[in-house]
Amino acid sequence: MWKDERGMTLMEMLLVVGIIAIVGLFSAVAISSARSRMRDTKRVADVRQFQSVLEDYYQMHNAYPEGQGVRLGDPTTSRCLRDGGFAPSGRGASSVFMNVVPAEYPKGIGDVKCGNPAQTGYCYTRVADGASYQLGFEIEHGIQEVGIEKGANCLIPEAGIRSGICPE
């Protein structure tokens, strides 16, 4: 029977390599899951920040900003929220509510799309002549503590976050 210089047989060496491979696989899965949960946490934090900033805008203008299917964070249309609504930048504005509107991290999602051309993102729509809005977003995992389910979700100021795509 063949043995290496440490006295291990070929079968023992293959067993050790197999165990290391299995441990590596479980580690990779755990890291991937942790990263996707971090992305979800960031998405929910972004939505809460949008909600706060949109309320500030409403307090000043007595209406929410204009927009139908606006992909938030788009550098050509909605990188900034300022007087007059969403814009590519805050230059020349008398008031800037959010200088850099975060764009959604798209990895792991893909059902909520808006803009032209339609792309994955945080999707804002003003409704009821500016008396309300809808903000569509997605997460990769449900967050039971705050009542958010995996997949498409919609923030409506009067109702909070609801599971599913925002109503038309």
One pLDDT digit (tens) per residue for the chain, 168 residues: 666 667 677 777 777 777 777 776 766 666 667 788 888 889 999 999 999 999 999 999 999 999 999 999 999 999 999 999 999 999 999 999 999 999 887 776 788 899 888 888 999 999 999 999 999 999 998 887 777 889 999 999 999 998 889 987
Residue 3 maps to a domain: no
Number of domains in the chain: 1
Residue 5 maps to a domain: no
The model carries a pTM of: 0.80
Strand order in the sheet with 151-156: 70-71, 123-127, 132-139, 151-156, 160-163
Residue type, 10: L
Full residue range of the structural domain in which residue 57 is found:
10-163
Residue 75 maps to a domain: yes
Residue 1 maps to a domain: no
Question: How far lies 74's CA from each of 64, 151, 153, in Å?
Answer: 19, 22, 20
Residue 78 maps to a domain: yes
